[in-house]
Amino acid sequence: MRRRQLLRATMGIGALGGLAGVSPATRSPIWRQRSLLAFGTTLSLQAAHEEVGVLDRALDAAVLAVRRIHGQMSLFDRDSAVSRLNRDGHLHLPPAELVEILGIAHAVSRDSEGAFDVTVQPLWTVFESAQRAGRLPEPGEVAAARARVDWRALDVSRRRIRFDMPAMAVTLNGIAQGYAADLARTVLSKHGVRHALIDAGEFAPLGHNKEARPWALGIEDPHEESALIARLITDGRCIATSADKLTTFSTDRRHHHIFDPRTGYSPPSLSAVTVAAPSGAIADALTKVFFVAGAEQARVAARRWSVDALWVDKSGRWDATPGLLLDRSAPRGQVPKV
Domains of the chain in start order, with CATH, are 7-14+31-74+175-327 (3.10.520.10), 87-163 (1.10.3980.10)
What's the confidence (pLDDT) of residue 127? 97
What's the confidence (pLDDT) of residue 1? 43
Cα-trace Rg, the chain = 20
User: What is the Cα–Cα distance from 108 to 285, expressed in whole angstroms?
Assistant: 7
CA distances from 315 to 12, 182, 221, 312, 331 (A): 32, 33, 11, 8, 24
Dmax over Cα atoms in the chain, in whole Å?
70
SS3 159: coil
φ and ψ of 33, to 5 deg: -135, 140
Which class for 109: exposed (0-12), middle (13-18), buried (19 or more C-beta within 10 A)?
Answer: buried
* Cα torsion through 287, 292, 297, 298, rounded to 10: 10
What's the confidence (pLDDT) of residue 199? 97
| Residue (of 257, 254, 258, 280) closest to 268 by Cα position | 254
What's the confidence (pLDDT) of residue 26? 61
SS3 330: coil
Residue environment code for 295-324, b if the CB has 16+ CB neighbours within 10 A, otherwise e: beebbebbeebebbbbbbbbeeebebbeeb
What's the confidence (pLDDT) of residue 225? 80
- Mean pLDDT of each 10-residue bin along the chain, 338 residues long: 46 36 63 93 95 98 97 93 97 98 98 97 97 97 98 98 97 97 98 97 96 94 89 97 92 94 96 98 98 96 97 96 87 38
Residue environment code for 43-70, b if the CB has 16+ CB neighbours within 10 A, otherwise e: bebbbbbeeeeebbebbeebbebbeebb
Find residue 45's DSSP bridge partners. Answer: 34, 198
DSSP percent split of the chain into helix, strand, coil, nearest 5: 30, 25, 45
Helices (H), 133-252: 139-146, 176-190
Q: What is the pTM of this model?
A: 0.90
User: What is the Cα–Cα distance from 93 to 90, expressed in whole angstroms?
Assistant: 10
- How many other C-beta atoms lie within 10 A of the C-beta of residue 174? 25
Axis-axis angle for helices 139-146, 121-132 (nearest 10): 150
CA distances from 13 to 82, 208, 213, 217, 327 (A): 39, 11, 7, 9, 10
What's the confidence (pLDDT) of residue 250? 93
